[in-house]
Chain A
Amino acid sequence: MHASLAVILFQGGQAAPAAEGAAHFEPFYPWLIVLLPLLGFVINGVLALRHAVASADAVRAGGELDLDEGGRPSTHTLPSLVGPGVLLLAFAITLVNFSRMLGAHLEAPEVIRYWTWMATGTFSVDVALQLDQLSMIMMMIVTGVGFLIHVFSVGYMKDDPGYPRYFAYLNLFIFFMLVLVMGANYPLMFVGWEGVGLCSYLLIGFWFSDREKSDAGKKAFIVNRIGDLGFLVAMFYLYTTFGTLDFEPIFANAEAALIYGGGLVTAITLFFFLGAAGKSAQMPLYVWLPDAMAGPTPVSALIHAATMVTAGVYLVARSSVLFALSPIASATVAGVGVFTALFAATIALKQNDIKKVLAYSTVSQLGYMFVGVGVGAYSAGIFHLMTHAFFKALLFLGAGAVIHSMHVAYHSTHSHEDAQDMRNMGGLRKHMPITCATMWIATLAIAGIWPLAGFFSKDEIIWQVAAFGGAASAPYPALYTVFWLIALAAAMLTAFYMTRMMVMTFHGENRSGAEEEKALHEAPAVMWAPLAVLAVLSVVGGWLNVSEHLRETLLGLGPLTSGWLHEWLHPITQQAQHIQEVNLGVLAESAPMFGGGEVVWAVLSGLAAAAVVAASFRFVGAQKHVPAAQDVEPTGFAKVLYNKWYVDELYDRIIVQPILTMSRFCWKVIDAGIIDGIANGVGWTARGLGWAVSFLQTGTLNTYAFILTVGVLVILGVSIL
């Protein structure tokens, strides 16, 4: 073990030389970043198994579990340290690497090869990590936001009997997520891709004794399989074209091997996008994400808001060279993204479950990211990915704090009301001031209020769509103009439904009941501290990437902001941008149809978002809200939105039921009827024949002797003749 570690260490130090000129980038134990969460998984997994054995023994003996002073099993102490601890260490090592890369001005990606994973003929895949500007941003989000969510989980999951198991899964998820973003080739990325899908399944169905929740886990897993097929087919195409699946040679040879706008590159990218649409919950594969809210709330924050669901955006940004070569695929990405953004936003308008609102909001915001990468604004897409990770994780964790408080309140009176239903909340501002304040920051950020993170990131994406639509030689300019208008409309809807959620949760009269209200409380420090950190990030996160035009005005906040992220990602995106410029020309400086530059539209959309927030605050606040138990079913169009456009029902009718019918046919007719019929028929035939022939056994000696004689005579007769 020591020897192999030493070998890894040695090889890690011997990385390929970085680009000439700037200071040499020296990776700092990159393998440790990946292995630390795996170590956490092993430790927590062992504790989880020990806990399972101990509780099974206790049940068998008919007694109670041994509990320590805290009233919790002894196996529940260590995960609180190990779970967040390994993440903190991994984050620290990532920061060291990041600061080294900052000083090095890395031009080419740093690929560190450890060993050959598989080699067949001319094709080989290495286990290799790629450190570059893009993976560094993703690693910091995964480990940094992941650490905060782990800390929150210590408070949120405190009394759950599956505590060590929960942290084992969470650590395993981080491990696979890091493999996904750090892998230096598509197969390794696919390992992470599948691994996070597995952990997503395990954590959605974490409370597996509830049928509905384990079904939600299965749904997520099965819907993702459809997307994974696309990923695989795209990899096969890449292999037949390039003979390798490593990122570097593929991107280096892409322009030579693939024709701009050709069928092959379009097929590859569309199949990749199918994979991305599955993982990142885009139409038509978004249906699993709202159901995934069955998992514990910090899981929703980590996996289904901040990290895993953004893997699709990462995949498109990572393959930016390929997507830039296919205008059709890029238009598809942008189109699917923008329609998903609008569609999910309309559903979020009428949801009453606080987590469902956030789930559809996530689907909608992921749509924006795809719009960004679809119009070639890869850094803008990654920028929105980052800011979204901050404010959506904050919103989910805040919702977790609210649910935790509501749950305790209902538990205290043994009420069975829904602790997640916003109709049962209201007026929580008095009881949970910190949660309320931090969530408002996130709400304003996602609504696109200046100068919070969402304003800069969302506005840049919307602006890039507009500029693309107005570009001299852009493909399908009318289409992109439509996309731009839809993106603007969805942004207004976002401002409305988020304000509605906040008002229903925190403002107005309390609707949880008089007895329950007394038990409502602010979340403990271990839970609100991550909220506070994320709130700060939701404010300042957007200042990293403010476009030049905005920085020339007051909107840019002067020296506080910079266009850093755009420049930082430049080595990753420059090739794709070059392809785009050569083939499509420079982007327009003014919006289509109405004219006006970036600053004008930033001011307009910012003012509009603020107006929507203010108006909906008054509008929803003036509405009369009643607890869930007394509420009536919505009617008309509201009913359609409340029932999510009946998409689940539609899928059930046209996909699930036909498959079930076909499966039943295969089961009852083909398997039970034909195949089992053949097998049983052989048995029955043998039995029947034996039964018929058994009548020859008369028991009379003379008969036997007679048959014997006749037989001998027949044989003699035949042999003579």
Chain B
Amino acid sequence: MITEALVLSAFLFVLGTFGVLVRRNAIIMFLCIELQLNAVNLSFVAFSRIHGMDGQIFVFFVMTVAAAEAAVGLAIIISIFRHYETVNVNNFKLLRW
């Protein structure tokens, strides 16, 4: 049972990572990050079957942080969009040498 859950979790995490690395759309990258977070959440829940409730409690923390992050991140993306009228991260290269 736990093996299948961890395999699924690993698959989702890798999927999210590839999404962050290869996509240029800020919203998509954001969704991929959420995917990674939830992959981790899945592992936590799966491991809590062996190690007790700590993992499940931690999942709540992660979800809370993810919600806050979504709020702030979306706000930033909206203001970027208002400025550049695009959410393609290739256009945001101000912080460089």
> Which A residues contact B (CB, under 8 angstroms)?
694-695, 697-702, 705-706, 709
Looking at the assembled complex, report how far the CB atom of A29 sits from the nearest CB atom of chain B, in whole angstroms: 82
- State whether the Cβ of B90 lies closer than 8 Å to any Cβ in chain A: yes
A709 to B95, Cβ gap below 8 A? no
A695 to B89, Cβ gap below 8 A? no
- Complex Cα spacing A699 to B97, Å: 8
Which of chain A's residues have a CB closer than 8 A to the CB of B97?
694-695, 697-698
- In chain A, what residue has the closest Cβ to B18? A709
- State whether the Cβ of B94 lies closer than 8 Å to any Cβ in chain A: yes
Looking at the assembled complex, report how far the CB atom of B13 sits from the nearest CB atom of chain A, in whole angstroms: 11
B94 to A705, Cβ gap below 8 A? no
- In chain A, what residue has the closest Cβ to B24? A702
Q: Assuming A694-B97, A699-B94, A699-B95, what are 7 further A-B pairs, CB within 8 angstroms?
A: A698-B96, A698-B97, A699-B92, A700-B93, A702-B21, A702-B24, A709-B17
* A701 with B92, Cβ < 8 A, contacts A694-B97, A695-B97, A709-B17 known: yes
- State whether the Cβ of B20 lies closer than 8 Å to any Cβ in chain A: yes
Which of chain A's residues have a CB closer than 8 A to the CB of B1?
none
Which of chain A's residues have a CB closer than 8 A to the CB of B50?
none
- Complex Cα spacing A701 to B23, Å: 10
Looking at the assembled complex, report how far the CB atom of A694 sits from the nearest CB atom of chain B, in whole angstroms: 4
Contact of B21 among A695, A697, A698, A706 (CB under 8 A): A706
Looking at the assembled complex, report how far the CB atom of B46 sits from the nearest CB atom of chain A, in whole angstroms: 19
- In chain B, what residue has the closest Cβ to A713? B17
Which of chain B's residues have a CB closer than 8 A to the CB of A700?
89-90, 93
Contact of B93 among A699, A705, A706 (CB under 8 A): A699
- Complex Cα spacing A705 to B20, Å: 7
* A702 with B17, Cβ < 8 A, contacts A697-B95, A697-B97 known: no
- In chain A, what residue has the closest Cβ to B22? A702
Looking at the assembled complex, report how far the CB atom of B60 sits from the nearest CB atom of chain A, in whole angstroms: 25
A698 to B93, Cβ gap below 8 A? yes
User: Number of B interface residues, CB 8 Å?
Assistant: 14
Contact with A along B59-97 (1 / 0, CB 8 A): 000000000000000000000000000000110111111
Which of chain A's residues have a CB closer than 8 A to the CB of B94?
699
Q: Could you write out 9 A-B pairs with CB less than 8 Å apart? A: A694-B97, A695-B97, A699-B93, A700-B93, A701-B29, A702-B22, A705-B20, A709-B17, A709-B21
A-B residue pairs, 6 tightest by C-beta = A699-B96, A699-B93, A694-B97, A701-B89, A697-B97, A697-B96
- Complex Cα spacing A702 to B23, Å: 8
Looking at the assembled complex, report how far the CB atom of B15 sits from the nearest CB atom of chain A, in whole angstroms: 13
- Complex Cα spacing A698 to B96, Å: 5
- In chain B, what residue has the closest Cβ to A704? B95
Contact with A along B12-36 (1 / 0, CB 8 A): 0000010011101000010000000
Which of chain B's residues have a CB closer than 8 A to the CB of A706?
21
- In chain A, what residue has the closest Cβ to B90? A700
Looking at the assembled complex, report how far the CB atom of A427 sits from the nearest CB atom of chain B, in whole angstroms: 89
A702 to B96, Cβ gap below 8 A? no
- In chain B, what residue has the closest Cβ to A700? B93
Most buried by A among B92, B94, B97: B97
Which of chain B's residues have a CB closer than 8 A to the CB of A705?
20-21
Looking at the assembled complex, report how far the CB atom of A457 sits from the nearest CB atom of chain B, in whole angstroms: 89
Looking at the assembled complex, report how far the CB atom of A280 sits from the nearest CB atom of chain B, in whole angstroms: 73
Looking at the assembled complex, report how far the CB atom of A469 sits from the nearest CB atom of chain B, in whole angstroms: 91
Which of chain B's residues have a CB closer than 8 A to the CB of A697?
95-97
- In chain B, what residue has the closest Cβ to A709? B17
Looking at the assembled complex, report how far the CB atom of A710 sits from the nearest CB atom of chain B, in whole angstroms: 10
Which of chain A's residues have a CB closer than 8 A to the CB of B22?
702
- Complex Cα spacing A279 to B21, Å: 86
Looking at the assembled complex, report how far the CB atom of B82 sits from the nearest CB atom of chain A, in whole angstroms: 19
- Complex Cα spacing A709 to B92, Å: 21
- Complex Cα spacing A699 to B17, Å: 19
- In chain B, what residue has the closest Cβ to A695? B97
Looking at the assembled complex, report how far the CB atom of B17 sits from the nearest CB atom of chain A, in whole angstroms: 6
Which of chain A's residues have a CB closer than 8 A to the CB of B29?
701
Which of chain A's residues have a CB closer than 8 A to the CB of B90?
700
- Complex Cα spacing A593 to B96, Å: 102
- Complex Cα spacing A706 to B22, Å: 9
- In chain A, what residue has the closest Cβ to B93? A699
Which of chain B's residues have a CB closer than 8 A to the CB of A702?
20-22, 24, 89
- In chain A, what residue has the closest Cβ to B33? A705
Looking at the assembled complex, report how far the CB atom of A695 sits from the nearest CB atom of chain B, in whole angstroms: 6
Which of chain B's residues have a CB closer than 8 A to the CB of A695?
97
Which of chain A's residues have a CB closer than 8 A to the CB of B95?
697, 699
- Complex Cα spacing A706 to B21, Å: 6
- In chain B, what residue has the closest Cβ to A703? B21
- Complex Cα spacing A709 to B18, Å: 10
- Complex Cα spacing A45 to B94, Å: 68
Looking at the assembled complex, report how far the CB atom of B89 sits from the nearest CB atom of chain A, in whole angstroms: 5
Looking at the assembled complex, report how far the CB atom of A702 sits from the nearest CB atom of chain B, in whole angstroms: 6
Looking at the assembled complex, report how far the CB atom of A707 sits from the nearest CB atom of chain B, in whole angstroms: 10
- In chain A, what residue has the closest Cβ to B94? A699
Which of chain A's residues have a CB closer than 8 A to the CB of B20?
702, 705
